[in-house]
Amino acid sequence: MRIVLTGAAGFLGSHLSERFLDEGHTVVGVDNFITGSRDNIALLQEREGFEFHLHDVSTPLFLSGPVDGILHFASPASPVDYLEYPIQTLKVGSLGTHNMLGLAREKGARFLLASTSEVYGDPAIHPQPETYWGNVNPVGPRGVYDEAKRFAEAMTSAYRSHHGLDTRIVRIFNTYGPRMRPGDGRVVSNFIVQALRGESLTLYGDGSQTRSFCYVSDLVEGIYRLFHSDCPGPVNLGNPVEFTVRELAEEILRQVVPTEAESDLKSGVENASRLRRLPLPEDDPKVRQPDITLARRELGWEPVVDLHEGLTRTIPWFRKQVNESDARARPLT
């Protein structure tokens, strides 16, 4: 198959591109590098079957030749990123999705939309099944991302019902792993980088809010299966094991600075010197946990990498990034 993958320079897009290449498909990566990394594209360009187009998908994209599938992953994804680029986020979710749906229709290609657990907002139902309509503040700071993705889902559904396009929608829950940008502001990257640098971990609020963290290889497997299935979705993909943000901080400290962490954390959240309390951002969801009954049934999919193992695989990658950036910052003597 010839696959177009928007957002190929990003965290998930680069892993997914690799997966499709590994399976013998060709991949056309498209990205404008707004939050992506040129290093990820350089890695992919070493592979046979990969080509790259530097392009903002919020403007129409014309490609020659056949296209069998389009996976639309382009969008700032971290709260820090989408708050820095609110208009671009709204545009890539709306205009970008429309453009990629148009390309899929023109080429007769299957279209898969990367949606998000954020469509559930600050959920009133827990865990969240796909049938839940969500609790989103359209005019709050996170509205630029949440509403863009909700519009993208509506647009994808309309192309399916009105134009008969072959579509899939995946609602992705918090995913982590190598190739996250160290400065992307998400909790896993922040905590690991802070722990490696010997800084205090920035705990927003009291750390009792929850998230369910999925390791990237599990997510990629789920998306690959969904793309090849007959299930239009939306389908939740995420690890259903829920942690408080404080528990995540503790696990990361235990892995990065094991001896220090135990005694320090015993002193409690207010006193632990390795934790620094900061205000909870506006509209920060209090809980989040996927109900993955549908993915289990339709895709035979289940995450296999737990948080401990996933962090063990992720921390060395961040250590390398931190060491390289520290080495660059050191003046030559």
Query: Would you count residue 58 as binding ligand NAD (CB under 6 A)?
Result: yes
The single residue listed with the structure tokens 């998000």 is: 116
Tell me the backbone φ, ψ of residue 75, rounded to 5 degrees: 170, 135
What the block records as the tokens of 174 is: 């918090």
Please identify, using beta-carbon distances, which residue of 174 and 289 lies nearer to ligand UDP: 174
Q: Which residues contact 333 (CB under 8 A, 6 or more apart)?
A: none
Residues touching ligand NAD, count (CB under 6 A)? 30
Query: Would you count residue 32 as binding ligand NAD (CB under 6 A)?
Result: yes
Cα 10 from Cα 125, distance rounded (Å): 31
Query: Would you count residue 171 as binding ligand UDP (CB under 6 A)?
Result: no
Count of residues making up the chain: 333
What the block records as the tokens of 141 is: 């700071």
Q: Which of 2, 4, 5, 13 binds ligand NAD (CB under 6 A)?
A: 13
187 binds, among ligand NAD, ligand UDP, none (CB under 5 to 8 A by kind): ligand UDP
Please identify, using beta-carbon distances, which residue of 137 and 202 lies nearer to ligand UDP: 202
Residue range at the interface with ligand UDP (CB under 6 A); choices 37-45, 153-161, 203-211, 325-333: 203-211
Please identify, using beta-carbon distances, which residue of 181 and 274 lies nearer to ligand NAD: 181
Q: Which of 92, 119, 237, 245 binds ligand UDP (CB under 6 A)?
A: 245
The single residue listed with the structure tokens 């002193």 is: 267
Query: Would you count residue 179 as binding ligand UDP (CB under 6 A)?
Result: no
Nearest to 140 by CA among 289, 286, 281: 281
Footprint on residues 106-145 left by ligand NAD (CB under 6 A) = 114, 116
What the block records as the tokens of 295 is: 């993915």
Query: Would you count residue 7 as binding ligand NAD (CB under 6 A)?
Result: yes
Q: The dihedral of CA 258, 217, 160, 290: what is its sign?
A: negative
Cα 245 from Cα 222, distance rounded (Å): 25
49: left (phi over 0), alpha (psi -120 to 50) or beta: left
DSSP annotation of 233 reads S
Q: Which of 242, 251, 284, 298 binds ligand UDP (CB under 6 A)?
A: 284
> One of 82, 145, 159, 176 is an active-site residue; which one?
145
Q: Which of 138, 281, 304, 308 binds ligand UDP (CB under 6 A)?
A: 281
202 binds, among ligand UDP, ligand NAD, none (CB under 5 to 8 A by kind): ligand UDP
Cα 208 from Cα 51, distance rounded (Å): 44
Query: Would you count residue 209 as binding ligand UDP (CB under 6 A)?
Result: yes
Query: Would you count residue 96 as binding ligand NAD (CB under 6 A)?
Result: yes
Residue range at the interface with ligand NAD (CB under 6 A); choices 2-10, 133-141, 248-256, 320-328: 2-10
Cα 261 from Cα 60, distance rounded (Å): 51
- DSSP H/E element including 280: none
Cα 167 from Cα 111, distance rounded (Å): 5
Query: Would you count residue 75 as binding ligand NAD (CB under 6 A)?
Result: yes
Tell me whether residue 145 is one of the annotated catalytic residues.
yes
Rounded least distance, CB 230 to ligand NAD, Å: 23
Residue range at the interface with ligand UDP (CB under 6 A); choices 8-16, 122-130, 196-204, 256-264: 196-204
Cα 233 from Cα 249, distance rounded (Å): 33
Query: Would you count residue 317 as binding ligand UDP (CB under 6 A)?
Result: no
Tell me the backbone φ, ψ of residue 268, rounded to 5 degrees: 95, 160
Tell me which residues touch ligand UDP (CB under 6 A): 78-79, 174, 186-187, 190, 202-204, 209, 211, 245, 280-281, 284
Tell me which residues touch ligand NAD (CB under 6 A): 6-7, 9-13, 30-36, 56-58, 73-77, 81, 92, 96, 114, 116, 172, 174-175
For the annotated catalytic residues, the residue numbers are 145
